[in-house]
Amino acid sequence: MAANQPEISQAAPAQRSGKHRVVIIGSGFGGLFAAKEFKHADVEVTVIAKTTHHLFQPLLYQVATGILSQGEIAPPTREILAKQKNATVLLGEVTEIDLANKLVTSELLNRRTVTAYDSLIVAAGAGQSYFGNDQFAEFAPGMKSIDDALELRGRIFGAFELAEIGAARGENVDHLLTFVVVGAGPTGVEMAGQIAELARRTLKKDFRHIQSQKARVVLVDAAPQVLPPFGEKLGEKSQAALEKAGVEIVLGAMVTAVDERGLEMKFKDGTVKRIESVTKIWAAGVQASELGKTLSEQTGAELDRAGRIAVNGDLTLPNHPEVFVVGDMINLNHLPGVAQVAIQGAKHSAKTIKARLAGKPEPGAFKYFDKGSMATISRFNAVVSVGKIKMAGFIAWLMWLVVHLAYITGFRNRLTAVLHWLMSFIGRDRSERTTTMQQIFARSALERIEGGAAGLVSEPGEMDALLEERRRELEEQALEEARLTDAHERGVAAQ
């Protein structure tokens, strides 16, 4: 087999059973809830995802700031679906969707798998958007994955460690104790608030040469207010609460440059300002999965600037009623990119497929029920927007706590999350503070390797040849050892 040519295999267990084959791309809220909806259906479900886990993304910032472990918000997808006998989980990144032949191609470390489907649900989600400045990612990681959260944890706690060393040597460490969060949406607000609490409560007694409570936390956004989707009133309350917690708010500022030691911002009046900061966090935008482009090219469905694809009212693609797209990937009726859109869209798609198979009337157009939005500002303080109900403070925080606890998968994870919240919010402890150099630098290192992680792995079949060669070497070595012993030549000088 030629070098760098992936090995191809077929993975379509439903072909053997003759049952209707449902393929689901993604293991996020959309993918998981779609799969569960088929639990009692007479179909074969195949979930293809590029990670082994189902990620509860709204709590990633708590992993990054040492409150929760990654396992508590990212249980294994296989474990979740283990009792669902009609569901199969495949690990791999989907690289191609062939709508004409109803095939999905996925790859994992040079191993290519082709899976056939009768119905397809695409719930591949979205990644971080740098608005055309992808070079910013090297110095300002986003927060969309477990890898991102662990890298940020290493960068945040590592900055305090470097500052301690620098201060002990009499150096200026202001740039190490300045943390900049770009994006004043829910993710950015929650992240900035937690870094401020980390510095002022958790770490204040841990260092000898720096005062962590004097760390500078800056929240930057080009928008004129904090939390625009929550409305002006809650935005003002959120800003006041953040500033009380010690967060500096810089609005109307667009980030134009990012490097290792800081970033530059440009204001509407043309003024450019620089902030010296080693630790930058990007929470400013999202870009739909590249699979949206693949689907658009084959169907003619339009893409918006964020890469979201226009779908029919029932979430299907034009001229392809067997293909559904849900969650962050869709452009329909100004739906927000939140978990509930993905969950409800996934359930709607599954119900449509089941109705077709049963010969019953289809649900029709997707109707989204807005359950509202929530964001934590600081300890015991949150904002909630549910219809006409707008509130901020402790009651809102309790509501946030209950809702998020309900959506954490698994009783064990809920229990440990509650224990960690008690320690962090009532006390000042954060048990998940372990960091390593690998967490911080692994992403950058892999990006510099041709082929990424696949470049570190032997090609399919190549290892067999290497093992055979090694086996021959060992056999020859063993024969020579035996000959030396039998000929009594050990310790005898060669003639």
How many Å separate Cα 384 from the centre of its chain? 24
By the 8 A CB rule, do 135 and 38 touch? no
Q: Rounded to an integer, what distance in angstroms lies between the CA atom of residue 408 and that of residue 364?
A: 30
> What is the C-alpha separation between 488 and 381, in angstroms, rounded?
83
In the numeric block, which tokens belong to residue 219? 């929240």
> What H or E segment, with its residue span, contains residue 440?
helix 437-447
CB atoms inside a 10 Å sphere around CB 240: 14
Q: What is the pLDDT of residues 100-130, one digit of tens each?
A: 999 999 999 999 999 999 999 999 999 999 9
Tell me how many degrees the CA angle 218-256-288 measures, rounded to the nearest 5.
90
Strand 309-310, strand 178-182: pairing: unpaired
Question: Catalytic site residues?
Answer: 190
User: pTM score, two decimals?
Assistant: 0.90
The answer to whether the beta carbons of residues 6 and 93 sit under 8 Å apart is no
pLDDT tens track, the chain, 495 positions: 444 555 555 554 444 568 999 999 999 999 999 999 999 999 999 999 999 999 999 999 999 999 999 999 999 999 999 999 999 999 999 999 999 999 999 999 999 999 999 999 999 999 999 999 999 999 999 999 999 999 999 999 999 999 999 999 999 999 999 999 999 999 999 999 999 999 999 999 999 999 999 999 999 999 999 999 999 999 999 999 999 999 999 999 999 999 999 999 999 999 999 999 999 999 998 999 999 999 999 999 999 999 999 999 999 999 999 999 999 999 999 999 999 999 999 999 999 999 999 999 999 999 999 999 999 999 999 999 998 899 999 999 999 999 999 989 888 899 999 999 998 988 888 989 999 999 999 989 988 888 888 888 877 677 777 778 888 899 999 998 898 888 888 776 766
In whole angstroms, give the CA distance from residue 44 to residue 115: 12
Q: Which residues contact 334 (CB under 8 A, 6 or more apart)?
A: none
Q: What pLDDT digit, counting tens, does each position of 380-399 carry?
A: 999 999 988 999 999 999 99
Q: What angle do CA 89, 94, 97 make, to 5 degrees?
A: 115
Region 134-284+379-446: CATH code: 3.50.50.100
Question: What element of type H or E holds 112?
Answer: strand 111-116
Return the closest-CA partner of residue 365 out of 415, 317, 315.
315
Two domains, one topology: 7-50+92-129+287-358 and 134-284+379-446: yes
- Per CATH, domain 7-50+92-129+287-358 is 3.50.50.60: yes
- The candidate with the shortest Cα–Cα distance to 97, out of 313, 348, 329, 305, is 329
Bridge partners of residue 43, in order along the sequence: 20
Q: Which residues contact 235 (CB under 8 A, 6 or more apart)?
A: 225, 226, 227, 228
Among 123, 125, 105, CA closest to 114? 105
**Coil vs helix vs strand at 185:** coil
Query: Residue 187, Cβ neighbours under 10 Å: how many?
Result: 23
Instruction: Answer yes or no: are the C-beta atoms of 107 and 95 closer than 8 Å.
Output: yes
CB atoms within 10 A of CB 480: 10
* Residue 192, C-beta contacts closer than 8 angstroms, at least 6 positions apart: 179, 181, 217, 218, 219, 242, 247
The residues spanned by each domain of the chain are 7-50+92-129+287-358, 134-284+379-446
Identify the H or E element spanning 149. helix 146-168
> Residue 179 pairs with which residues in a beta bridge?
217, 279
Q: For residues 296 and 303, is the Cβ–Cβ distance under 8 A? A: yes
Q: Which amino acid is at 422?
A: L
Q: Show the DSSP H helices in 38-105 as ranges.
A: 60-64, 70-73, 77-80
Q: What is the DSSP letter of 28?
A: S
Percent of all residues in the chain with a pLDDT value above 70, rounded to a whole number: 95
